[in-house]
Amino acid sequence: MSERMRSSIVLSLAVVIGLSTLALPLVLSSSDVEIYVTIGLATIVVTGLSLLMGFAGQVSLGQAAFYGVGAYTAGIMAVHHWPSLVALMAAPIAAGVIAFVIGVPLLRLKGHALVFSTLAFQLILLVVIENTSFLTGGAIGLSGIPALRIGPLAISTGKDYAYLVWVVAVAVLLITRNLTRSRPGRALRAMAITASGASAAGIAVESYKLKDFTLSAAYAGIAGGIYVFFIGYISPDAFPVTLSIEFVIMVVVGGIGTVSGAFVGAAVVTVISQVLTSLGTSPSLPPDLPTVLSLGVYALILIIILRLIPAGVVGTLSDLWKKTKPSASASGPVDTTGRSVLGPAVQAKDG
Amino acid sequence: MSAFTEYLITGIARGLVFALLATGFVLIYRVTRVVNFAQGAFAVFGGLLTFSLLRAGIPQGVSEVLAVLAVAVIGLIFGVITIAGKIPLLSSLIITIGLAMLSEAVAMLVWGSIPISYSGLAGHDFVILGAVVQRQYLLVLIVSLVLFGSMALLFDRTYFGKAMTACASNAYAAKLSGINVKRMGLLAFVLGGALGGIGGALLTPVEPMTYNADVSLSILGFAAAIVGGLTSPGLAVAGGLVFGLTEQFVSGYWSPSYDTAVALALLIVVLLWQARRMRLEGLE
Amino acid sequence: MHLIQTIRRGGGLQKEGDGGLCRNLFRKERGRLRKTATASVAVVSFALLLAACSSSPSKPVAKAKGPIKIGMITSLTGPYTPLGTNDKLGAVQEVNAINATGGVNGRKIDLIVQDDTTNPSQAVVDWKTLMSDGVVAVVGPVFSSSCMAIIPDVQASKVPSVDTCAADSQVTPARKYVFMTPPTTLIVGKQLLAYMKAKGITRVAVAHDTSSFGEAGWHEMKAEASTYGIHFIYDGTFQVTSTTFTSILTAVKSSGAQALMVWGAGPAEVGLTAQFRAMGLTIPLLFSHAEASMLYTKPAGAAGNGAIIASSIGGIGPYLPSSYPAKSTIMSFANTFKAKNGYYPPEFAFDAGGAVAMIAKAIKENGATPAGIDAALNHMTITTGDGTYSFSPTDHSGLTTNQVAITRDTNGTLVPTKFTKAMVG
């Protein structure tokens, strides 16, 4: 198969997925639309995080902090009667500015010291939110956040938010994809492999890292902004450290350093955890069961996925794709998709 | 004066517990380069198992030792799951997070969700410079000093300890000189498990243990360990003490709401200072 | 998710038209496409298919003669697990009791439980799931932030939610469709102040956590203090996750306070109690109703002995005189609970059981429609394990200080103080 044919397959696949996700909210029940929005928001955050991890080689265990900054920025402004679209636009800006400001010193740290400092930043931020109740509502939170209005359009139903999230997620994915294929993208990729080598090749490593960190925070910020209008209430409980950990899990499950992996990771992890959360709640079942399922079984699935396909779903598939013979047909994704979750063992052996 | 002493002693004791958790991190990281986020789970198991053994009528002292041994076995199992075969480091790290969640589920099933505690070292609390100090803290102090001392000896003076370190700094050379790198890694998990277990068994009498305490314990241990770049047990102890003391003094002289936040911020400053110093040294 | 419920209820996917189709599609695709592997976005299609499958089957059929669907949102995972699990046990027990005696108006109750994972956003998802299941009323969350998060949806869907969280702000002012069963922090605070006054205590130190519960409790109490002649001379805050209280306790010691009042919910209070004793403090140690169960008394152990703890009236059931109106309701609930679970029900169980009882009574009076239930709740007087409620359109909490007991932790058991014995007669 020629390179052109291969890329046209990938492109048409992307279009098919894009269109089918666009049609999906029309047929989903209202609670499934909620999950659709959750996946979309996670995709936006995880795309940024994946960019940071896979391209700049920096792990952030505090990405939920920027999600929170975006949410609080939009929420506080909306409560104080700013036009909601302005509030939403301010969310990524605030998250980006904060990331830039703390990034200047923090990005001098290497490896796990940086991981720690992002985690610490989130914990500090949560304490600050809890103790500035005049602004943030403290632990009680902020309620009465009005619905989003874009010009004459009121974004109020779940479906409205589903489309808003779709548009933003697609925009974020496209921006990121173009970025990773541009000169800065190649520079970032080089950095992830060897910072000193990249530096020797004339790449301004520090500057790229900072831009990347800022951009990934802005992604999280816009997701947070949408979130706050979607839920209409905000409290520090919505941004625990475990959420940051979940974002990292999504990156790794999807496949680090792949743009589409962000979407895949967000979708797979969200669907698995939603299924597990709902499975054990039936009145006839013991009340301990949900913990066993949503912690124990979730953890087992996670461990099994990572043991069998350590490169993540998209990483593994893309390795396989590179090995495919010209005879391969284009209609593969549904199958490979199913198998990579349902039968990872088969997959790994095949590879 | 008594308030100051009170803060000082509590801070040191807590700092040492963090340091115990941190040394587990250090040990495992030094040998395998994996940041083990299941370290807090070792402590949880240490505390909960001791509780069950004590309730089964096994005397104090014996219970703790048995619990720690059991946690060492858990450490081995975790080690196998985390590092066996070929696996990227980041995946290993996420697997340790998975193991921590799995541990929470198991702990919840066996011990339930209510905090669990047992009485520590018997006898009256004692008074130092006007401050009342729980006797358990004395035990924390002695046990940690002994452990830190022996770890320093292990790494600096014994062939075995040097072999463990060699695995991480140059796995290829270590292999050439006949060291089984994987086996050393598993051993590190066993010892890391035991250290976490000891921390948990010592901590539970003063701070009741819950099935989900592992997240905060892991974060605190990680915080202390990072000061030594995850490789130096000595600096990890220093990190633990800085953290514990900052928490107590901020809590005492400013507000308990900000204790952890300020301690974390201070650690970031320490890390930045270290990075700057390293950069300056690099330039010379 | 319908898919999930289908699995949960033991129905195979193929039984439902669309579900079966989806599944077959899966199987076919899997066989046909095995040979290919494509780089792009693979799992997503799986997720989409799953989502699509999950959404299409079975619009809930509203059968007038079938069981009445009541929803429940509680925290079965996450930090509030100990509370939520007892909530669920209490609600399920009440539902079983009602169904065993023939149900309501001849129809059984079908309780549909959702886990909010102690996360307000999940509570919103749960609410929408319950709405698409067609429930007529909901036993609301135990986690305060979840209660606050669902309010807009509760009001939009016009389905009453009888919440089991202790957040005053949800009912002050009374909001349409939002009710609560635990005592408010306001009436608990007042009763504790009355107790202090009766004991001749005037100079009090307070420690509270920064959770919404801790903040609300402290602010309500502070606002009422002067009425009872109480002066708060020290105020210390701590985190829900705090584990050492040396600084607070040192300050309390040197402040000369006659008592220490603690507002907070979670494991922190257990550590505080141990350290309070360890530092040799002997002044009375007072807690709100958040500590009124073995979730506190058991881990606190001997250190908790003597602590003064506010409790809903259900907590002292065995000590109530048989003339007390709620006694029989409390004891029949408690005895069943104890027989099944091996311990006296904590307040959370009473709260959720009571919420089910209220909804059932409303259905009996006004029929199984959301509007009917809401109308009945707005004028309901009912005795549950938490005491006697009188709801009105302006009072959606319904309890008074008379339903709050002041107890003393006596070797792990909550024994009413003389103050409360005098109140209940």
Where do the domains of chain A lie, and which CATH numbers do they carry? 3-350 (1.10.3470)
Answer yes or no: do A127 and C239 touch at CB < 8 A: yes
Residues of A in contact with C120 (CB under 8 A): 141, 231, 233, 235, 237-238
What is the interface size between A and C, counted as CB pairs within 8 Å? 273
pLDDT value for A328: 42
The span from the first CA to the last CA of chain C, in angstroms, equals 51
**Is C51 in Cβ contact with A17 (below 8 Å)?**
no
- Closest partner CB to B255 (pick from C79, C85, C237): C237
CA distance C287 to C309: 5
Cα–Cα dist A83/A89, whole Å: 10
CB-count burial class (<10 Å; 0-12, 13-18, 19+) for B42 = buried
What residue in C sits closest to A131 (Cα-Cα)? C210
Q: Which chains touch A (3 or more CB pairs under 8 A)?
A: B, C
Q: Which residue has the tokens 């006797």?
A: B135
> CB distance from A171 to chain C under 8 Å?
no
Residues of chain B with Cβ-Cβ distance to C251 below 8 Å are 3, 252
Evaluate whether residue B284 is within a structural domain: no
Task: Flag whether pLDDT at A334 surpasses 60.
Answer: no
Taking contacts as CB-CB distances below 8 angstroms, the residues of chain B near A60 are none
Residue partners of B240: CB distance under 8 A and separation at least 6:
B15, B16, B17, B18, B19, B20, B21, B22, B224
CA B6 to the chain's CA centroid: 23
Which residue in chain A has the smallest CA separation from B223?
A116
A197 pLDDT tier (thresholds 50, 70, 90): low
User: CA-nearest residue of chain B to A286?
Assistant: B109
Tokens of A30: 């209202």
For residue B123, the model assigns a pLDDT of 61
A195 touches chain B (CB under 8 A): no
Q: Does C294 touch chain B (CB under 8 A)?
A: yes
Q: Residue B90: which domain range?
A: 2-279
pLDDT value at residue C287: 97
Written as six digits, the tokens of A346 are: 């088969």
Chain A nearest-CA distance from C192, in A, is 23
Interface test with B, best of A58, A101, A108, A112 (most B CBs within 10 A): A112
The alpha carbon of residue B11 is apart from the nearest alpha carbon of chain A, in Å, by 20
Residue type, C309: I
3-class secondary-structure state, position C104: strand
Say if B115 falls within a structural domain. Answer: yes
Q: 3-class DSSP state for residue C237?
A: strand
Pick from B108, B223, B261: CB nearest A124: B261
How far is A346 from chain B, CA to nearest CA, in Å?
A: 18
Output b/e per residue, C287-307; b: 16+ Cβ within 10 A.
bbbbbbbbbbbbbbbebbeeb
Tokens coding B194: 């035991």
Confidence of residue A229 (pLDDT cuts 50, 70, 90): very high
| For residue A237, pLDDT beyond 50 | yes
Instruction: Name residue C389's beta-bridge partners.
Output: C382
Facing residue for C267 by CB, picked from B119, B134, B210:
B210
Angle at A80 between CA A78 and CA A86, to 5 degrees: 40
CB of B266 within 8 A of CB of B246? yes
With tokens 């409303």, the residue in question is: C362
Residues C280, C296 contacting (CB under 8 angstroms): no
Cβ-count burial of B48 within 10 angstroms (0-12 exposed, 13-18 middle, 19+ buried)?
buried
Residue A324 pLDDT grade (very low, low, confident, very high; cuts 50, 70, 90): low
Length of chain B: 284
Rg (CA), chain A: 20
Q: Which chains touch C (3 or more CB pairs under 8 A)?
A: A, B
Contact map slice: A 175-194 vs C, CB within 8 A:
none
Whether C239 contacts chain B with CB within 8 A = yes
Q: Residue window 96-125, chain C: list those with CB within 8 Å of chain A.
A: 111, 113-115, 117-122, 124-125
Instruction: List CB contacts of B131: < 8 A, sequence separation 6 or more.
Output: B2, B3, B5, B6, B9
Give me the number of domains chain B comprises. Answer: 1
**Subunits in contact with chain B (3 or more CB pairs closer than 8 Å):** A, C
User: How far is C141 from C151, CA to CA, in rounded Å?
Assistant: 11
| Poorest-pLDDT segment among A180-184, B255-259, C354-358 | A180-184
CATH number for the domain spanning B182: value is: 1.10.3470
Spell out the per-residue pLDDT of chain C, length 425, in tens.
343 333 333 333 333 333 333 333 333 333 333 333 333 334 444 444 444 444 444 444 444 568 999 999 999 988 888 899 999 999 999 999 999 999 999 999 999 999 998 888 889 889 988 998 899 999 999 998 899 889 988 998 999 999 999 888 889 889 999 999 999 999 999 999 999 999 999 999 999 988 888 888 999 999 999 999 999 999 988 887 777 788 888 889 889 999 999 999 877 898 899 889 888 889 999 999 999 988 899 888 888 999 999 999 999 999 999 989 899 999 999 999 999 999 999 999 999 999 999 999 999 999 999 999 999 999 999 999 999 999 999 999 999 999 999 999 999 999 999 999 988 87
Q: How confident is the model at residue A223 (pLDDT cuts 50, 70, 90)?
A: very high
**β-bridge partners, C395:** C392
CATH 3.40.50.2300, chain C: domain bounds: 68-182+329-383, 185-319+404-424
* B210/C contact by beta carbon, under 8 A: yes
Q: Is C247 on the interface with B (CB under 8 A)?
A: yes
Inter-chain CB proximity B265 and A110 less than 8 Å: no
Looking at residue C278, its pLDDT comes to 80
Instruction: Give the DSSP per-residue string, C285-316.
Output: EEE-GGG-SHHHHHHHGGGGTT-EEEEEGGGG
What's the rounded mean pLDDT across residues B155-162?
80
- A108 CB neighbours in chain B (<8 A) are 272, 275-276, 279
Chain C, 222 to 241: residues with Cβ < 8 Å from chain A are 239
Residue A349's pLDDT band (boundaries 50, 70, 90)? very low
Nearest CA in chain B to C240: B257
Spatial separation of the C-alpha atoms in residues C337 and C357, rounded to whole Å: 15
Contact predicate B139/B125, CB 8 Å = no
**pLDDT band at residue A338 under the 50/70/90 scheme:** very low
Considering CB atoms only, which of C242, C246, C294 is closest to B252?
A: C246
Chain B within 8 Å of A249 (Cβ-Cβ)? yes
Q: A95: closest CA among A186, A192, A218?
A: A218
Comparing A283-297, A318-332, B206-220, C375-389, the range with the smallest average pLDDT is: A318-332
Chain A CB within 8 Å of residue B104 CB = yes
- CA distance, residue C324 to nearest chain B CA (Å): 32
Separation in Å, CA of C23 to nearest CA in chain A = 11
Contacts of C61 (CB under 8 A, 6+ apart): none
Contact B115 C299 (CB under 8 A): yes
Instruction: Give chain B positions within 8 Å (CB) of C267.
Output: 115, 208, 210
- Of residues C96 and A199, which shows the higher confidence score? C96
Residues 6+ apart with CB under 8 A from C333: C90, C93, C94, C314, C345, C349, C350, C353, C385
Architecture per CATH, domain C185-319+404-424, reads as 3-Layer(aba) Sandwich (3.40)
- Could you please report the per-residue DSSP string of A221-281? HHHHHHHHHHHSEE-GGGS-HHHHHHHHHHHHHH-TT-HHHHHHHHHHHHHHHHHHHHHT-
Least confidently predicted of A95-99, A313-317, C129-133: A313-317
What's the gap in Å between the CA of C166 and the closest CA on chain B? 20
Minimum mean pLDDT range among A17-26, B235-244, C182-191, C389-398 = A17-26
Q: What is the ipTM of this complex?
A: 0.89
The residue of chain B with its CA nearest to that of A242 is B215
Q: What is the per-residue burial (b if ≥16 Cβ within 10 Å, else e) of C11-36?
A: eebeebebbeebbeebeebbeebeeb
User: How high is the pLDDT of residue C61?
Assistant: 42
Answer whether C215 sits within 8 Å of A279, measured CB to CB. Answer: no
Judging contacts by C-beta atoms under 8 Å, the chain C residues touching residue A337 are 42-47, 49
Chain C residues lying within 8 Å of A41, measured CB to CB: none
The tokens for C361 are 């009574």
Whether B94 and A115 lie within 8 Å, measured CB to CB: no
Q: Which residues of A touch B87 (CB under 8 A)?
A: 306-307, 310
Residues near C332 by beta carbon (within 8 Å), at least 6 away in sequence: none
Q: Answer for the pair B221, B21: CB distance below 8 angstroms, yes or no.
A: yes
Q: With beta carbons less than 8 A apart as the criterion, state whether C203 and C228 touch.
A: no
Sort strands C308-312 and C404-410 into parallel, antiparallel or unpaired.
antiparallel
Q: What is the pLDDT of residue A202?
A: 65
Concatenated DSSP letters of A144-179:
-PPPEEETTEEE-SHHHHHHHHHHHHHHHHHHHHHH
What is the CATH architecture assignment of C68-182+329-383?
3-Layer(aba) Sandwich (3.40)
pLDDT recorded at residue A193 = 65
Q: Which residue of B has its CA nearest to C281?
A: B132
